[in-house]
């Protein structure tokens, strides 16, 4: 028969395993979550990233070394794209997909981000892809749920002839309604 200490150790390990929080494969790490939108608000405050659909194909650069620098972004408009042509049709449908998951959302918008280059390195500046930018109330959804809804949004976009849009979810405090 097992010794008392073996039973206690096994019991403690079981409790630890049941209390462990699994990290989602879709969840950005803390650095990306808090730094991804650096620069978009003039006051230095910016939303936190919840999920982005292009995380596998467009890794977020990690600053390292003595002269580490966070990428600085600014928000741009979206014009003359296939998504613009169907936006007023798909936007309410996207909203409905979000609401069906009981996510407390604040906005669904089109956006593009310009990533500024370090001084003297203008060739490194870039205009990102068209983004469907979903704002959710802080703590109201997870990266796993956002990824699940993204799959439905992707199917909707493909059905409407849109192939290259990215969906990003951010925490945004003020509710809006379509």
Count of residues in the chain: 178
Say which range, 50-54, 99-103, 122-126, 134-138, has the weakest mean pLDDT.
122-126
Task: Flag whether 21 is in a domain.
Answer: no
- Report the number of distinct structural domains present in the chain: 1
Query: Does residue 105 lie in a domain region?
Result: yes
* Residue 80 covered by a domain: yes
- Residue-range definition of the domain harbouring residue 70: 26-171
Has residue 165 got a pLDDT over 90? no
Q: How far is CA 145 from CA 71, 81, 110, in A?
A: 27, 27, 20
Q: Is the pLDDT of residue 22 over 80?
A: no
Q: Is residue 101 part of a domain?
A: yes
* Number of Cβ within a 10 Å radius of residue 105: 23
pLDDT at residue 6 is higher than 70 = no
Domain annotation covers residue 160: yes
19 in a structural domain? no
* Cβ 33 vs Cβ 62: under 8 Å: no
C-alpha to C-alpha distance for 111 and 98, rounded to whole angstroms: 18
Question: What is the token pair recorded at 176?
Answer: 């809006």
Give the span between the Cα atoms of 60 and 166, in whole angstroms.
Answer: 14
Q: Would 31 be classed as within a structural domain? A: yes
Question: What confidence tens digit (pLDDT) does each residue in 75-94 have?
Answer: 999 999 999 999 999 999 99
Residue 8 lies in a domain: no
Q: Which two tokens stand for residue 150?
A: 């993204």
pLDDT tens-digit series, residues 102-117: 999 999 999 999 998 7
Residue 178 clears pLDDT 60, i.e. is over it: no
pLDDT band for 4, please (50, 70, 90 cuts): very low
């Amino acid at each position: 028969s097992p010794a008392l200490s073996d039973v206690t150790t096994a019991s403690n390990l079981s409790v630890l395993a049941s209390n462990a929080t699994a990290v989602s494969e879709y969840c950005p790490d803390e650095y990306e979550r808090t730094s991804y939108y650096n620069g978009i608000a003039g006051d230095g405050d910016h939303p936190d990233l919840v999920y982005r659909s292009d995380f596998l194909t467009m890794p977020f650069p990690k600053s390292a070394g003595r002269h580490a620098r966070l990428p600085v972004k600014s928000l741009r408009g979206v014009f003359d794209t296939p998504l613009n042509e169907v936006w007023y049709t798909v936007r309410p449908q996207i909203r409905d997909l979000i609401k069906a998951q009981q996510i407390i959302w604040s906005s669904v918008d089109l956006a593009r981000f310009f990533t500024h280059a370090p001084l003297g390195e203008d060739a490194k500046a870039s205009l990102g892809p068209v983004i469907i930018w979903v704002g959710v109330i802080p703590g109201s959804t997870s990266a796993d749920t956002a990824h699940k809804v993204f799959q439905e949004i992707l199917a909707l976009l493909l059905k409407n002839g849109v192939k290259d849009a990215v969906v990003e979810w951010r925490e945004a405090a003020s509710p809006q309604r379509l």
